Every structure is written in structure tokens, then in C-alpha cells.
Structure 1
Amino acid sequence: MKRFKIPILSLLMLAGSIGNAAAETRLANPFLGMWGLEIEGGGVGWLHVSEEKGYLDAELLWIGGSVLPVANVYLADENTLVVTRTTNSRKSEDRTHILTHTLRVEKSGDSLKGTMTGPGRNGEYQSDFTGKRMPSMPEKPDLSKLSYGNPISLFNGGDLSGWELMNPNQSNGFTAENGVLVNDPVQPENGEHLSYGNIRTQQEFEDFNLKLEVNVPEGNNSGVYLRGIYEIQVVDSYGKPLDSHHMGALYSRITPSQAAEKPAGEWQTMDITLVDRHVTVILNGKKIIDNEPAWGPTGGAMSADVLAPGPIYLQGDHGKVSYRNIVLTPIEK
């Protein structure tokens, strides 16, 4: 048999060409990065597609709840991404179903469009959505150089002037009582179920410092949304381990660096700064989030547009909570 000798240099060049082509293919994946999703019916989502060692991975926020790793993600073709996520549904004490929802996502320019499908209560669930690439994260701001405008009192202590229900078809559990904004979403004794809503400021804001006091009874839960996008968690979590779902956290995104909450039923202070999409939280005088980037919206966000002004909104559908001395000071640029 006649053997052909191929110079080693040629083999190396060929291997390099194949490697470069593979790298270019990976770099050409048009879905890599972070995407804000606007979901049919008013919901907001967030998709982060990443690649490590040649394998695709993704995180997904879908309307409410937390940012979670997906079950699977792959390219069906150069312009179609398929993402699946799974959840457990307990049907009885001895039976749990695994529910799978599938997103088929198509890309055009810097925009996405797609459909989420999966099992619903009355057949197949389907929801359309659009998406846009998230803008680049600014550099960490120098908080010592910020200039502030005049403080704005968001609650006058006597009534809900300046606030409104986000969904006028829901019930409002918030009332003004002796200088305190109290939310008490109780259900009537006659068995009729009331759907309680969130309230928002009529005014919208850009970057700011927000100071307030909050009192959370035992076992209760609320949240303060910055620009209607980022939830700072309000919950009775005294004595529990650090977690991105506990008091003062940027919900499911940033875990406090230390536990600073007080026992349930005590008044607590929050000092929150949002500037250039970076968040600082001082809870009861202790800095628990230090100028950290907010990479995307949290569950329950009003919009995926992280550059637009938005309101302060207070979660009113989760439990009893009281607020007072709510003062916002705009940051001037």
C-alpha cells in the first residue's frame, strides 16, 4: 500500500482552521446574552443564554417567581432556539407530575419573538412573547459623587393620594390609619374570594434614593418595587439563613451579605439607592447590598424596559404589612 506523507505543518494548519471554524460557529450563535421579554397579556420575563466549553445553558424568569436554570436549551436551526423548563405539580400525597413548558424562540435583528406552550388546566397553555436584547450594564457608579434633588414624600399619612391600584378590577387592601399605610388583605367570612392587588405611585421616577419604614407581622410577605421592575423583598425572615428571597434581597437575584432583619412585628428601616441599574440596600442601619448590578427584572415586574422611568409599587396580594415615612429623593444627572 502506498503511503502519502503529509507535512506536520499542514496538519497543524488544518486543525487550526477546523478549530477556528468551530469557534466562529459558536460566536455566531445569535441568542447568546440577556433578553428582556414582554409576554402577551402583560407579563414580563427574562432570558439569559450562555455558553461554556461548547455547551449552551440558560436561565429563565417567566412572569412571576424566581430566575431559574432551564431544563434544556438548544438551537433547532440558526434562527430558532428551543428552551424547556420543568416544574413539579403535586396531584396527591403519592403522585407528583413533572410539567414541561417549551419556548420556541426566533430572532430577527436584536429582537425576539416566540411562543411558550405546555399543559394547562383546560388543555394546552400557549402564550406569545417578544423580546429585546438587554442594554449593556453601565460601570459601577461612584455613590460619593451623586447629586440629589428635593425629597418627595410619597405617603401623606392621611389617605392614598398619589397612589392607585395597578389593576382596577382587583380589591385594594391598603388604607391609611394614623399616619401608617396598612395593607390587610383579609378574605370575607361568607366564602367569597377577593383578589387583592398591588398599588403604585402615579408619579414615575428615574434613579433615586428611597427611605421607608416597614412592619411585617409573623409569617407575612410583601415587596417594594423600584421603577416597577426590581423587587426588594419584604418578608418575615428573622433568624433564617441568608437567601435571595429574604428580607432586603433583590428578589432571586442578589442575596444580602449579612442578616440585618428584626423580629416580626417590629418597625424596620430601609434605605435603598438605585442608580445606573445598580442597587444598594441598607437595612436597619447595616449595608446588605453594596452597589451591585441588577441584571434584569424580577418576578412581578411591570416592564422589561430597564432604561425607562417607572413607579414605586407595593405588593398587596401576599399578606399583611404596614409602611410609613416613605420618602424618595431623585438623583440628578
Structure 2
Amino acid sequence: MKFPLIGLFCVVLFGSWESKAQRKITSHLVSLNNLGEFNPVTSNWKLASAVRFSPSTDENSFEPGTGIVLDLPVKPDTGHLFTNMKHGDIDLEFDFIIARKSNSGVYLQGRYEVQIYDSWGVETPAFYDCGGIYQRWDENRGSKKGFEGKAPDQNASKAPGAWQHFKIVFRAPRFDKNGRKTANARFVRVVLNGVVIHENVEVTGPTRSAAFDDERTLGPLMFQGDHGPVAIRNIQYTLL
């Protein structure tokens, strides 16, 4: 009778481990029925059911409703959008649409930016083009204040006014028990509109215009709200 009991114990224990693993990799779709999953929310961010950005003019329109979060920055209301959720390692994906000549970005942990930009038709993209990992900035570096950053491997951007899609796999920086960093943050993979544009790119510190100057194990997602109209929908993430 001992062996069946041991077997039962192993089954129960394995089942417990399996259920915990499943809970850890459960995906979450951010509700855009309201803005309750974000904090703080400035007046430039609003909900919509439809958004239209002209690909050739500055004419933009939207229909009030739910399902889309829309940024229409007008000074002095140009705040960024932060999630209540704070993450370490994460798989993230979302749809976005930008206006002509517009500029935004998503900051992993509020610190490391993947650029959102109207890069339609650019033949040789730079770090500031859509999908680029933005450069770092240091006022004490003399004439080369901007450094690092990485251009996307190719330009996979659609025209302004078209919905686009990001998939980002991010690995947070590592720290030892004394708080000393032992590994840099890393973009394991970035996919724009189905095209892999980055693989295994290290970031040695927060990129320019990050919300925080330090590095930590956890931080919120941040969508930049001060450089032009942008809309986001279908925000889904998996905390690893």
C-alpha cells in the first residue's frame, strides 16, 4: 500500500506544480471598457470605438465609445499613460495606429523604449524610426550625448492611418541580493506587423525620455503621450 500512496502524493504534487505554472503564464487582455487599468490618466487620453487618421493630411476623427484608448495631446495636457500593472519579464502585444508625421513609443518598465513613429516609405530606418529601440542620453558625454539605440533590421511599417501590430518579448534586468545589477535588460524579440525586427538586443540602462532614471526588477508599461496622435487597442500581456 505504500507505493500507491507515494504515487498519489507525486500526482498531487505534480498537479500542484502544473497549476502554479499555468497561473504564471496566463495572458491578460487589458480592459478598454474604461481606463481603470491605468494610472494616472491625463485628459489627452480618452476612450473611443473607432479612430480615423488620414494618411495624407492632418485630418483626424474618432467616435466616442470603448475598445480603443486614444491620445490627442494638446499642451499642457500631454501626459503619458502608465499601467497599474508592474512587470519584469513579459510577452506583450498590441495594435496601434498613428497619425501622419506622429511620434510615440512604448516603454517597457517605463524605462526602455520601442519607438512608434510614422516611418512609412523610409528605405534605411534609424533607431528613431518605428520599431527602433531608442538611444540612451547623457548630458555629460560632450558632443555625443546620444548613444546606443538600435534601428530595426528592416522597415516593416505600414502607412499612417493603418492599424499595425507589435509583439515584444522582454527580459528584465537582473540584480543580486545586494541590489547590484548582474544582467542588462534585453529585448529578446520584437516583431512588427509579422516581421522580426530585433533579436537579443541588450539595453544597458533607461533610454531617452524614460519615466525613471534608475533600473529595477519591476516597472509599469508606459505609452508616450506628448508627441502626437496615437491610438492603442488589444493590449495583451503575459507575465513570465
The offset of 1:295, in angstroms, is 1.7
- Which of 179, 202, 207 aligns to 1:293? It is 202
Deviations 1:178-217 (A, max 9, x none): 211111124xxxxxx5232111011211110100000011
- Which of 217, 224, 228 aligns to 1:308? It is 217
- Which of 217, 220, 226 aligns to 2:108? It is 226
Matched, 1:330 2:212: no
Which residue does the alignment assign to 1:216? 98
- Which of 16, 21, 32 aligns to 1:157? It is 32
Gaps in structure 1 of 5+ consecutive residues: 1-146, 187-192
Is the contact between residue 172 and residue 198 of structure 1 (CA under 8 Å) also seen in structure 2? Answer: no
The offset of 1:328, in angstroms, is 0.9
The offset of 1:165, in angstroms, is 2.5
Alignment of 1:43-62 (within 5 A): none
Residues 236 and 204 (structure 1), Cα distance of their counterparts in 2 relative to 1, 3 Å cut = same
Which residue does the alignment assign to 1:264? 160
The offset of 1:153, in angstroms, is 1.8
Paired with 1:308 and 1:172, the residues of 2 have a C-alpha distance of 30
- Which of 156, 178, 186 aligns to 1:278? It is 186
TM-score scaled by structure 2? 0.69
Is the contact between residue 44 and residue 77 of structure 2 (CA under 8 Å) also seen in structure 1? Answer: no
The offset of 1:271, in angstroms, is 0.2
What SS does the aligned partner of 2:43 have?
Answer: coil
Percent identity between the aligned chains? 31
Is the contact between residue 98 and residue 231 of structure 2 (CA under 8 Å) also seen in structure 1? Answer: yes
The offset of 1:226, in angstroms, is 0.2
Gaps in structure 2 of 5+ consecutive residues: 1-21, 50-66, 136-148, 173-184
What SS does the aligned partner of 1:202 have?
Answer: strand
Is the contact between residue 181 and residue 324 of structure 1 (CA under 8 Å) also seen in structure 2? Answer: yes
Alignment of 1:35-184 (within 5 A): 149-154=25-30, 156-165=31-40, 171-178=42-49, 179-184=67-72
What SS does the aligned partner of 2:113 have?
Answer: strand
Paired with 1:172 and 1:249, the residues of 2 have a C-alpha distance of 28
- Which of 210, 232, 251 aligns to 2:134? It is 251
Aligned residues: 175
Which residue does the alignment assign to 1:106? none
Structure 1 segments, 4+ long, off by >4 Å, are none
TM-score scaled by structure 1? 0.50
The offset of 1:264, in angstroms, is 0.7
Paired with 1:329 and 1:259, the residues of 2 have a C-alpha distance of 26
